[in-house]
Structure 1
């Protein structure tokens, strides 16, 4: 494929190995600071080499990938999976993720009863009665 290449752009590489769906999403992730190469924030044009560690923040969690093969064109999923080593820790079990009470967007301000229920749920209820 691209065996004669010594480096590749980081945005092109994360798109080629199917971490993001489009090249423009990869560039936007780099601009927003969601991509790090060897612990440093990466601009879209920064080059990656074999052995580099690439961290991509996706929905609140970091995906840690070590470059094993350089790609500049999008390839099949099986070839893409062989192009990196995934060091991402497994997600925490669902029981450990604390569920915060959320109101529906656009529901307006909570009523007094809803506010009291939220405070009780958060453990900040005041029993002054």
Structure 2
């Protein structure tokens, strides 16, 4: 039997049509596994909407530009559609369009990480102090 008193339904009644809360959209677009993680990223300054730092209840609509930092990767996407429901990956991909610059930047970061990993030949045992310093220098870049 479906629940009728869920928190999500209460959110849907108060939002205007064509808009949805930012934390809910990030969760529905599968940037984060839970709404709590999405809210934590927003509060931590890892998300911006139209080059402004939003609150988690910020309403997003089609055409907004959302920037999301996940680990070392920066995703810059344009909102195509809004949804408060989490669907399959193909449905989630239809909610946004990533910019070409964002895709290129993420590819560059991935290549840098791959090259950095290939430069170290790990020996058996713990690295020496000199080797640890070299590792730290590469990781700080």
TM-score in terms of structure 2 length = 0.66
Residues 1-129 of structure 1 mapped to structure 2, 5 A cutoff:
5-87=17-99, 88-90=102-104, 91-92=107-108, 93-94=111-112, 98=116, 114-117=128-131
1:72-122 CA distances to partner (integer Å, 9 max, x unpaired)?
A: 111121111111101222321247854698xxxxx8xx8xxx334556886
1:42-74 CA distances to partner (integer Å, 9 max, x unpaired)?
A: 211111111000011001221111100011111
Higher RCO (C-alpha under 8 Å, 6+ residues apart): 1
Larger radius of gyration: 1
Structure 1 Cα separation of the partners of residues 79 and 114 of structure 2: 31
Structure 1 Cα separation of the partners of residues 83 and 134 of structure 2: 54
Structure 1 Cα separation of the partners of residues 134 and 57 of structure 2: 50
Are 1:5 and 1:70, in contact at CA under 8 Å, matched by a contact in 2?
Answer: no
C-alpha RMSD of the superposition: 2.9
Counterpart secondary structure, 1:89:
helix
- Unpaired segments of 5 or more residues in structure 2? 1-11, 121-125
- Unpaired segments of 5 or more residues in structure 1? 102-106, 123-129
Normalized per residue, the structure richer in helix is 2
CA separation of 1:98 and 1:24: change in aligned 2, threshold 3 A: same
Structure 2 Cα separation of the partners of residues 24 and 14 of structure 1: 11
TM-score in terms of structure 1 length = 0.71
